[in-house]
Chains A and B, each alone.
Chain A
Amino acid sequence: MAKGDFVSSIRESQAWKSIFRHGPPTTPRNKTLVVLMNVFLHLHPIRMKKSGIRMSFTWCMGGITFFLFLVETITGVLLMFYYRPTADYAYADIIALREHVPIGIMREVHRWGAHAMVISVWLHMFRVFLTGSYKPPREFNWGIGVILLVLTLLLSFTGYLLPWDQLAIWAITVGSNMARATPFLGNEGPGASLINMLMGFDVVHAGSDARFALLAGRLVGEATLLRFYVLHCVFIPLAASVLMAIHFWRVRKDGGISGPL
């Protein structure tokens, strides 16, 4: 059987056609359909300006950030097969991930990926600022980007506690002290005493404020570990995924990847 026949027999098969409903990308129409008809590609523009993808212009920092998010997702899920977020097991499981589990560098990949993602997301923001890409009509996407930056930092913060060693516990103790100063919601924040005065009793106190909700207690304890684990593995990645979909889609809708409109 000739090679061409074999390829075309696959392309003509019902299985192939059920997945790809357009012909081979040899015509402009089919090249467009490749992007339009693919759930993963359709967030992206069908075509873009040549200058828009110059490395010296974009630094590829948004793309690298997204790549690192995927790395973190995959390595993170692999770590979840071993890690148990309880005071008895957490630290031992972290050690086991290095000493007893094949490919013991998985946690290091996850950790270094997280550091790299924080750096790349800042550089991405810096580049967007330098090229003026926050200006209308892209100001909404800048806002989405700022939330994504905060979520990236919160992912790092919540992940910091999970090794459950002295560094982790004290870093979160110190870091979460900031939540005490939340306006109105933190017991040492501006407006808290006003609320307490108006209500006539202590509504906002150390056992009812934003820090308490974050830590599930007045101190960093086992309940905090579980709370941070759920935030780190489920809540924040989900929120970031939704916002990233909007972010990428808006890049396309607001005139394509950075460049003059």
Chain B
Amino acid sequence: MPTPTYPEAPETLSRRTFLNWMAVGWTGFAAAMAAGLTATGRLFFPNVTFEPPQQFKAGFPSEYAVNKVDERFKKRYGVWMVRNEKGIYVLSTVCTHLGCTPNWLEAENKFKCPCHGSGFYSSGMNFEGPAPRPLERFKIGLAADGQINIDKTAKFQFEKGQWNDPASFLEIA
């Protein structure tokens, strides 16, 4: 029986070389697709948001009356400025239960959340309702021009012992 003859593979491109090039090609393609998808995912993070800035100036310390909860920045920046005998701290207006905005009830001397009834003292401590922890405080300091500087990107939580941090409180001598 005669042995069948097979045509020789062309010498310019062996099977191994072809497969190697295939591997290079597919790896490159996959990498390009991954890079493209990652870049497309970036589309969901706009460079500019039309929201109030996270850092802002809140006037001079002398503008705040002692033992008062000041609501002037509540609507725009979502903070209460609270002045006690020693100084000023900034409370977040986000309820620690589910994120609604409580109201400051001057007559009852407390914050009361309309959603589920959580209550907080002017210090931010929770004392009634479902809120599991006190309101958060934001970073406060003095700018070079003597105005109060507030930075909402830095927050201080009582339950983590962060209210002792000097940046969470502006002492007024």
Q: Which residues of A contact B115 (CB under 8 A)?
A: 170, 174
Q: Mark A26-65, 1 if CB is under 8 A from B, else 0.
A: 0000000000000000000000000000000000000000
**Contact across chains for A216 and B46 when beta carbons are under 8 A apart:** yes
* B6 at interface, CB cutoff 8 A: no
Scan A217-228; emit 1 where CB is below 8 A from any B CB, else 0. 111011100000
Tell me the residues in window 144-199 of chain A with beta carbons closer than 8 Å to chain B beta carbons.
170, 173-174, 177
Q: How far is the CB of A169 from chain B (nearest CB, A)?
A: 11
Contact B99 A223 (CB under 8 A): no
Residues from chain A with a CB closer than 8 A to the CB of B98 are 174, 177
Residues of B within 8 A of A205 (CB): 153
| Residues of B with C-beta under 8 A to A221 | 49-51
Query: A174 touching B100 by the CB < 8 A rule?
Result: yes
- Cα separation A129 to B49 with both chains bound (whole Å): 46
In the complex, A208 has a CB within 8 A of chain B = yes
In the complex formed, the residue of B with least CB distance to A215 is B49
Alpha-carbon separation in the docked complex, A173 to B78 (Å): 14
Given contacts A221-B50, A223-B50, contact A213 B45 (CB under 8 A): yes
Taken together as a complex, chains A and B put the C-alpha atoms of A223 and B49 apart, in Å, by: 9
Q: Are A219 and B51 in contact (CB under 8 A)?
A: yes
A174 to B49, CA, bound (A): 20
A217 contact set on B, CB distance < 8 A: 46, 49-51
Q: Is A212 an interface residue (CB 8 A)?
A: yes
Is there a chain A Cβ closer than 8 Å to B18's Cβ?
Answer: no
Total B residues in contact with A, Cβ cutoff 8 Å = 12
Q: How far is the CB of A117 from chain B (nearest CB, A)?
A: 26
| Cα A216 to Cα B51 with chains together (Å) | 10
C-alpha spacing A174/B46, complex, angstroms = 22
Known contacts A217-B51, A219-B51; A173/B46 CB under 8 A:
no
Count how many pairs of residues, one from A and one from B, have CB atoms less than 8 Å apart in the complex.
37
Interface size on A, residues (CB 8 A): 17
Instruction: Answer whether residue A236 sits at the interface, using C-beta atoms and an 8 A cutoff.
Output: no
In B17-59, the 8 Å CB interface with A consists of: 44-46, 49-51, 54
Tell me the nearest residue of chain B to A216, going by C-beta: B46
Query: Does A233 make an interface contact (CB < 8 A)?
Result: no
Evaluate contact between A173 and B100: CB separation under 8 angstroms.
yes
- Cβ of B40 to closest chain A Cβ, rounded Å: 12
A206 on interface, CB distance cutoff 8 Å: yes
A206 touches B153 (CB 8 A): yes
Question: B100 contacts A170, CB within 8 Å?
Answer: yes
Q: Contacts A216-B44, A223-B46 hold; do A174 and B51 have CB atoms under 8 A apart?
A: no
Which A-chain residue is minimally distant from B100 (CB atoms)? A170
Q: Are B44 and A213 in contact (CB under 8 A)?
A: yes
Binary interface encoding of chain B residues 87-100 relative to chain A, with 1 for a CB under 8 A from any of its CBs, else 0: 00000000000111
Mask: chain B, 70-100; 1 = CB below 8 Å from A; 0 = not:
0000000000000000000000000000111
Q: How far is the CB of A196 from chain B (nearest CB, A)?
A: 13
Q: Which residues, 90 to 130 on B, are CB-close (under 8 Å) to A?
A: 98-100, 115
B95, closest chain A residue (CB): A174
- The CA-CA distance from A157 to B122 in the complex, in Å, is 35
Cα A218 to Cα B115 in complex, Å, equals 20
Name B51's closest neighbour in chain A (CB-CB).
A217
Inter-chain CA distance A177–B101, complex, in Å, is 13
Which chain A residues lie closer than 8 Å to B44 at the CB level? 213, 216
Is the pair B99, A174 in contact by a Cβ cutoff of 8 Å? yes
B45 and A173 form a contact (CB under 8 A): no
A-B contact pairs, 18 of them (CB 8 A): A170-B100, A174-B98, A174-B99, A174-B100, A177-B98, A177-B99, A205-B153, A207-B49, A212-B45, A213-B44, A216-B49, A218-B51, A218-B54, A221-B50, A221-B51, A223-B46, A223-B49, A223-B50
A206-B153, A216-B46 given; 9 more Cβ-contact pairs under 8 Å: A177-B99, A207-B49, A207-B54, A213-B44, A217-B50, A218-B51, A219-B51, A221-B51, A223-B49
When A and B form their complex, which 9 residue pairs have the shortest distance between CB atoms, in order from nearest? Answer: A213-B44, A174-B98, A217-B49, A177-B99, A174-B99, A217-B51, A173-B99, A219-B51, A218-B51
